[in-house]
Amino acid sequence: MSFTTKATITTFGGRLLKLSHPSKTTTTPMALNLYLPPAALVPTPTRVPLLIYLSGLTCSPENCTEKGFFQHRASQLGLALLWPDTSPRGLNLPGEKDAWDFGEAASFYIDATQEPFAGGYKMETYLTKELPEVLFGDEEFGEYLDKERVSITGHSMGGHGALTLYLKHRGLYKSVSAFAPIANPSQCPWGEKAFKGYLGEDREAWKAHDATELLGKCEKRDNVKMLVDVGTGDNFYKQGQLLPENLEKAAQEAGVEGFTLRYQEGYDHSYYFMASFADEHVEHAAKHLGLL
Ligand X SMILES: N[C@@H](CCC(=O)N[C@@H](CSC=O)C(=O)NCC(=O)O)C(=O)O
Which residues partner with 48 through β-bridges? 145
CB 59 within 8 A of CB 29: no
- Is residue 98 among the annotated active site residues? no
Interface with ligand X in residues 142-161 (CB under 6 A): 155-157
Taking the least distance from each CB to ligand X, the nearer of 66 and 148 is: 66
CB of 100 to ligand X, least distance (A): 5
For residues 216 to 255, the per-residue mask of contacts with ligand X, x marking binding by CB under 6 A and - elsewhere, is ----------------------------------------
**Rounded to an integer, what is the distance from CA 19 to the centroid of its chain?**
17
CB 143 within 8 A of CB 118: no
Burial 241-256 (b: 16+ CB within 10 A, else e): bbbbebbbebbeebeb
Question: Does 260 engage in binding with ligand X (CB under 6 A)?
Answer: no
Which residue from 26, 63, 65, 246 is in contact with ligand X, where contact means CB under 6 A?
Answer: 63
DSSP 142: G
Question: Does 52 engage in binding with ligand X (CB under 6 A)?
Answer: no
Please enumerate in sequence order all residues whose Cβ is within 8 A of that of 240, keeping only pairs 6 or more positions apart, or say none.
188, 189
- Is residue 169 among the annotated active site residues? no
- Alpha-carbon span 182 to 212, nearest angstrom: 10
Taking the least distance from each CB to ligand X, the nearer of 125 and 270 is: 270
CB of 237 to ligand X, least distance (A): 11
Taking the least distance from each CB to ligand X, the nearer of 53 and 136 is: 53
Active-site annotation, residues = 156, 234, 269
* Binding footprint of ligand X on the chain (CB under 6 A): 56-59, 63, 100, 155-157, 269-271
